[in-house]
């Protein structure tokens, strides 16, 4: 029900804190908004990916919010927001994971294998095959 990016980020951070995934929603909100002021994370298709790296303690945390009406996000209409808190301890893993997935799925055959999977077992097998040399 947020009307601004600030509202959306605050609501998602509060949900993370309420679920005990983070310790301080206010500091996460401040850091996410500072990051947004440098470069907006709004993308085509009504998506935004605000994130904060260097969070102390805990694990990699992701919260998603949906706005059917849409939120004005620096002139972009955003309907789906993913807020990520990336702890210091997993920053290197997060970067390796993203690099490995990007490398694996830059190959059309790997993307095609995922799209053609008939069930979750086939999807898992295709994912493992595609990433066995790129994600470690």
pLDDT tens, residue order, the chain (136 aa)? 888 999 999 999 999 999 999 889 999 999 999 999 999 989 877 888 898 987 766 788 878 788 878 899 988 898 888 898 988 777 777 777 667 766 876 787 876 786 687 887 886 798 789 889 987 7
How many C-alpha atoms does 88 have within 13 Å on its Cβ side? 4
The alpha carbon of residue 105 and the mean position of all alpha carbons in its chain are separated, in whole angstroms, by 17
CA distance readout (Å), 10 to 17, 26, 45: 10, 8, 22
């Amino acid at each position: 029900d947020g009307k601004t990016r600030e509202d959306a980020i605050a609501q998602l951070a509060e949900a993370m804190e309420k679920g005990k995934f983070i310790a301080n929603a206010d500091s996460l909100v401040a850091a996410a908004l500072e990051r947004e002021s440098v470069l907006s994370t709004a993308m085509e298709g009504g998506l935004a990916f605000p994130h904060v790296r260097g969070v102390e303690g805990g694990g990699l945390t992701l919260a998603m919010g949906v706005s059917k009406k849409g939120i004005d996000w620096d002139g972009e209409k955003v309907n789906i927001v993913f807020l990520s808190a990336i702890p210091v301890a997993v920053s290197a893993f997060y970067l390796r994971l993203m690099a490995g997935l990007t490398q694996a799925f830059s190959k059309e055959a790997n993307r095609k294998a995922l799209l053609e999977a008939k069930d979750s077992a086939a999807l898992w097998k295709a994912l493992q095959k595609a990433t066995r040399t790129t994600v470690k």
